Amino acid sequence: MTQEMARRSIRELPLAERPRERLAVRGAAGLSASELIALVWGSGSPGASSIDMAAEALARLDGLDGLARAAPRELEALAGIGPARAARLTAAFELGRRALTDWPAGRWSIRSPRDLADRLILQMGRLEREELRVVLLNAKNSVLGIQTVYVGNVSTALVRVGELFRDAVRQHAAGLIVVHNHPSGDPQPSPDDLHLTAEAVAAGRLLDVAVLDHLIIGHDAYVSLRDRGIPFDRPGGVS
């Protein structure tokens, strides 16, 4: 794109060069990241097209991965973006993450900790706050649902262990897996994590709901406490 073209808005571009028209002709896979972001943002600001703004944002935040991980306030700080465009882009990336974690559609089974971790790293690996979730399973280790039960500092001093089992009891789940993230990016378990795990396993035995594992999610990695040798229940065997 020439410097002269960069100063024009999308409406001033030749019809064949506009992202919407290129999408119709080439499909989404045929567009650059800047063009796809421009479609999410709509028209640009005076003196700059949304394609140029997207290219500048990608450059400043180290590419698409950096842009996807940016908080709304970071996006708003970029020239010409503002709260509305920041919100649209944040929503678009979140939809993409959810689409990945929902694939394949329908009920899915967990055969190993990685089956679950590979999905949840996409959702939880870059969260700015800790979240505690429970994955509800039937007797065949098929997922019945995933519930967020706590947002904040995940510790036995603050988390009511009984809350982990509320939906499990309602849905007659045979077992569950506890999952929480470390915003620092380091998934190594803390003493609080180990204490919470022991309390959850003990409570599950009283309630006849097996606790099969506790996964700790980091930025791009996870730790399975079952794999670390912590004793868990084994109905149907998640190993």
Please report which confidence band the pLDDT of residue 123 belongs to, taking 50, 70 and 90 as the band edges: confident
Q: Which of 16-20, 94-98, 109-113, 185-189 has the highest mean pLDDT?
A: 185-189
Sign of the C-alpha dihedral computed for residues 93, 94, 99 and 101 taken in this order: positive
Tokens of 171: 């849905």
Tokens of 156: 């036995």
Domain of 199 in residue numbering reads as 104-224
Of the three residues 101, 135, 156, the one that is the final residue of a domain is 101
Nearest to 110 by CA among 210, 204, 229, 228: 210
Are 118 and 95 found together in one domain? no
Of the three residues 57, 81, 101, the one that is the final residue of a domain is 101
Domain membership flag for residue 233? no
Domains held by the chain: number: 2
Going through the chain in order, the beta strands assigned E by DSSP cover: 131-137, 143-151, 175-181, 210-217, 222-224
Query: Is 41 in contact with 89 (CB distance < 8 Å)?
Result: yes
Are 74 and 62 found together in one domain? yes
Distance CA 6, CA 13 (A): 10
Are 118 and 194 found together in one domain? yes
Kindly report which listed range (84-93, 172-181, 193-202, 230-239) carries the lowest average pLDDT score: 230-239
**146-201 tens-digit pLDDT:** 999 988 877 665 788 889 999 999 999 999 999 999 999 999 999 999 999 999 99
Query: Is 132 in contact with 150 (CB distance < 8 Å)?
Result: yes
Whether the model pTM is above 0.85:
no
Rounded to 10 degrees, the C-alpha dihedral 132/134/135/138 comes to 170
pLDDT of 156 reads 61
Tell whether the model's pLDDT for residue 1 goes beyond 50: no
Are 109 and 207 found together in one domain? yes
